Amino acid sequence: MKKRTNFWGWFWVLLAMVYFLVPLVGTLEFSLEMLRGIRSFAAYQAVFDDPQFAETFLFSNQMALLTIIASLALFVPTAYWVHLRVPRWRPVVEFITLMPFVIPAIVLVFGMIKIYKNPVVIGPVMLLQAPTNSVLGTNALLVAGYVVLAMPYMYRAVDTGLRAMDVRTLTEAAQSLGAGWFTIIVRVILPNLRAALLSGALLTFAIVVGELTLANFLDRPAFGPYLWLLGQHRAYEPAALSIISFGLTWAALGMIYLVSRGRGGQAQVAGAR
C-alpha cells in the first residue's frame, strides 16, 4: 500500500517536472543553434554585445528598485495600520489593491498621460510643469504606474506577513517597553516581515523588468519594449534572453530562500509553540 503511494507521488512529481522542463530545454537548445550546424553561445554573445541590452536592463532595474522602495514605503505602514486599527476596513482595502487586475495597464497609462500632460495647477498657482514634458517627470509617472501594477502582489505579501504574527500584541508589548511608532515599525514589524517583503520585492521586480505597456506609451528606454522589439526582428536572441532572465529569476528565488532561512527566527514566525 505504502509503495503504491510512493509510486504515484513520484509519478506526479516527474510529470510536473517534464511539463516544466521540456519547454525550457527546447528554448535552451534553440538558443544555442544560431550558427548553423554547431552549438555555440553566439546568440548570448550577440545579446550581450548589443549596448541597448545593458542600457535598457540597467534602466529597468533602477525603475524596479525605485518601485520597490516606493511601494514598501506606501504599503507597509498602510497594511500595518489596517491590521492594527481598522481591521474592518480590510475587505475594502483588499478590493482596492486588486483593482489593477481588473483595469488594464493601457487604461492606466492613457489616464496618466491625459492628466499629466497638463501642468499641475491648484487655483491660480502652478505647482508643477507638465510631468510628461521632462524625463524626470515621465520617470516618476512610470514608477507611480509600476507601484499600481505591483500593488496586488506587494500588498498581499505584506498582508500575509502581518497575518502570520500577532501584530497588535507585539505592538503593545513594544509600546509598554517605551518604543514609539518609528521604533516599532523598524525594530519589531519590519524584521519579522523580512521573508514576506523579499517575496513581494521579487514579484515587483519581475513585473517591472518585463513590463511593456507603460514603458512603451510613456516612451521610456526600458527592458520590456526592448525585449518586444527584439522578439519582432530576431530569432535566436530572444531565446537566449529568456534563458538569461530565467536564470536571474532563479538566482533571486534562491537568495530569498537563503535569507529567509539564514536567521533562525524568520522561518518560524508563524510557528506558534
C-alpha span between 162 and 24 (Å, rounded): 36
In angstroms, what is the minimal distance from the CB of 201 to another protein? 18
By beta-carbon proximity to another protein, the closer residue of 51 and 264 is: 264
Crossing angle (nearest 10°) for helices 42-49 and 51-84 = 80
C-alpha cell at position 195: 521573508
By beta-carbon proximity to another protein, the closer residue of 76 and 150 is: 76
User: Which residues of this protein are in contact with another protein, per CB under 8 A?
Assistant: 165-166, 169-170, 172-180, 183, 187-188, 191-192, 194, 263-266, 268-269, 271, 273
In angstroms, what is the minimal distance from the CB of 180 to another protein? 6
In angstroms, what is the minimal distance from the CB of 169 to another protein? 4
DSSP character at residue 103: S
In angstroms, what is the minimal distance from the CB of 195 to another protein? 11
By beta-carbon proximity to another protein, the closer residue of 166 and 219 is: 166
Query: What does the longest C-alpha to C-alpha distance in the chain come to?
Result: 81
By beta-carbon proximity to another protein, the closer residue of 47 and 76 is: 76
By beta-carbon proximity to another protein, the closer residue of 114 and 263 is: 263
In angstroms, what is the minimal distance from the CB of 161 to another protein? 12
In angstroms, what is the minimal distance from the CB of 45 to another protein? 46
By beta-carbon proximity to another protein, the closer residue of 39 and 187 is: 187
How many distinct helices (H) and strands (E) make up the chain? 13, 2
C-alpha cell at position 126: 502652478
3-state secondary structure of 67: helix
Q: How far is CA 229 from its chain centroid?
A: 22
Q: Cell 487604461 maps to which residue? A: 107
By beta-carbon proximity to another protein, the closer residue of 45 and 183 is: 183
Contact 167, 84 (CB under 8 A): yes
Contact 235, 131 (CB under 8 A): no
C-alpha span between 72 and 184 (Å, rounded): 16
The residues, ordered by sequence, that sit 6+ positions from 156 with a Cβ below 8 Å of its Cβ are: 97, 200
Q: Which residues pair with 137 in a beta bridge?
A: none
In angstroms, what is the minimal distance from the CB of 86 to another protein? 16
